[in-house]
């Protein structure tokens, strides 16, 4: 089995021993009549009905075939997704690993009966028992897509591919002869502390960081110091993909951690943009479609879970977002993605990606780690100049 997943299973076991899981709702044993709608919280660009580009539509046919109207609420951060699911009124959420275990621990999502998702067997085996959706052998969702947080850069400011994340962490003169100060961005979310920790893993090995989501106090403080240094050169802390696109187009921003989604849209608009995964590796996401414990439309929700992993949707979504399908048969024969699309989107980078995960006090790599609530308060302080 993949070493990353073996390690992740240890983490999942640690999480399950740390939290008391709420009483489980009765798992569905069959799918009944469609209720007429399904309400989904999703990342921007994850569920398209052709409004932006008619080539990318994986909603219209589903609605015609099932009678389930797809209603989408977009969320820009994992914290926003958790808040929306806590409020209720939604059936499904496309949760990243820094949200999924919180939703499980909080009793906001239910165990999924994979027997009711026939295409489950198509899913990449590396993701079948992934720790961000599997606890105590139970699956709390269906994998959707995965990918890396890439370094997006302006090719007019960089004459060669930047090799390191140092271009967004340290003040320097770029290839165009100008400083990067005021021309770089950072992600507006506490999980970004892991990006700083990942950079320190390579550049300050004496800190002994083994996992960017498992930091003792000294390691955590070092990451915060790096982020305070970075704040002096940041143009904007972004969380809205479309605002970042505008900043790269009109506001002179030349480098930032980003999603392939923004890279694709900017390149599609003939902007001088490229992306890379630098030598230190990258953080990333492995997203899971999870069902609310009180889903009002469970039958439509299960129909969507099956639909969400069919090869056509998976390939089209990968082409649109720049991500990697969870069903590998989607990598061949898709006109929009192309037969080399999965490779271009990073299929071979799985081992180089440190997937988002909720930091816990009890951790696998050392005796004790700084928990997520302190990541939240500390990152707010950094943004506020403290």
CATH number of 340's domain: 3.40.190.10
Rounded-to-integer distance, Cα 192 and Cα 336, Å? 31
| Cβ(101)–Cβ(21) below 8 Å | no
Residues 264 and 176 in one domain: yes
Residues 253 and 178 in one domain: yes
Residues 266 and 346 in one domain: no
Number of domains in the chain: 2
Nearest to 102 by CA among 133, 129, 74, 72: 133
Averaged in consecutive runs of 10 residues, what is the pLDDT profile of the chain (386 residues)? 38 41 71 98 95 95 98 95 97 96 95 97 94 94 96 97 98 98 96 98 98 97 98 96 96 96 92 96 96 97 98 96 95 95 90 92 94 96 91
| Cβ(144)–Cβ(289) below 8 Å | yes
Which pLDDT score is estimated for 18?
Answer: 44
Residues 165 and 112 in one domain: no
Residues 155 and 277 in one domain: yes
Rounded-to-integer distance, Cα 62 and Cα 64, Å? 5
Residues 238 and 371 in one domain: yes
DSSP annotation of 307 reads H
Residues 277 and 289 in one domain: no
Expressed as residue numbers, the domain containing 254 is 149-282+360-383
Which pLDDT score is estimated for 27?
Answer: 85
Residues 41 and 76 in one domain: yes
Residues 295 and 273 in one domain: no
Residues 288 and 302 in one domain: yes
What is each CA distance from 166 to 155, 278, 362, in whole angstroms? 17, 9, 31
Q: Which pLDDT tens digit goes with each residue over 356-380? A: 999 999 999 999 999 999 999 999 9
Residues 91 and 132 in one domain: yes
Residues 276 and 289 in one domain: no
Which pLDDT score is estimated for 22?
Answer: 52
Which pLDDT score is estimated for 294?
Answer: 96
Q: Which pLDDT tens digit goes with each residue over 15-71? A: 433 444 555 567 889 999 999 999 999 999 999 999 999 999 999 999 999 999 999
């Amino acid at each position: 089995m993949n070493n990353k997943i073996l390690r992740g299973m240890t983490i999942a076991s640690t999480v399950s021993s740390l939290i008391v899981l709420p009483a489980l709702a009765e798992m569905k044993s069959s799918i009944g009549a469609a209720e007429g709608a399904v309400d989904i919280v999703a990342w921007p660009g994850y569920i398209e009905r052709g409004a932006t580009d008619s080539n990318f539509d994986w909603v219209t046919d589903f609605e015609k075939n099932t009678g389930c109207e797809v209603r989408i609420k977009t969320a820009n951060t994992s914290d926003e997704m958790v808040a929306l699911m806590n409020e209720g009124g939604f059936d499904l959420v496309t949760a990243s690993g820094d949200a999924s275990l919180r939703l499980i621990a909080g009793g906001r999502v239910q165990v999924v009966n994979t027997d009711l998702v026939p295409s489950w067997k198509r899913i990449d085996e590396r993701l079948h028992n992934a720790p961000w959706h599997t606890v105590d052998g139970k699956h709390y969702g269906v994998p959707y897509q995965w990918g890396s947080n890439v370094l997006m850069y302006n090719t007019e400011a960089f004459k060669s591919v930047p090799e390191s994340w140092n271009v967004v962490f340290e003040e320097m003169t770029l290839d165009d002869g100008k400083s990067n100060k005021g021309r770089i961005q950072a992600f507006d979310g506490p999980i970004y502390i892991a990006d700083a920790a990942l950079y320190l893993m390579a550049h300050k090995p004496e800190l002994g960081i083994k996992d960017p989501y498992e930091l003792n106090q000294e390691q955590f403080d070092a990451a915060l110091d790096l982020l305070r240094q970075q704040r002096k050169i940041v143009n904007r802390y972004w969380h809205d993909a479309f605002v970042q696109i505008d900043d790269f187009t009109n506001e002179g921003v030349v480098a930032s951690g980003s999603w392939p989604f923004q890279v694709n849209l900017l390149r599609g608009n003939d902007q001088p943009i490229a992306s890379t995964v630098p030598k230190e590796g990258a953080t990333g996401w492995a997203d899971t479609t999870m069902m609310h414990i009180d889903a009002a439309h469970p039958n439509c929700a299960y129909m969507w879970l099956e639909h969400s992993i069919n090869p056509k949707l998976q390939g089209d979504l990968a082409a649109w977002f720049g991500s990697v399908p969870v069903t590998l048969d989607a990598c061949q024969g898709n006109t929009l993605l192309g037969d080399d699309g999965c490779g271009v989107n990073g299929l071979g980078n799985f081992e180089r990606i440190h997937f988002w995960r909720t930091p816990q006090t009890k951790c696998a790599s050392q005796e004790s780690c700084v928990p997520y609530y302190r990541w939240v308060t500390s990152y707010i302080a950094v943004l506020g100049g403290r």
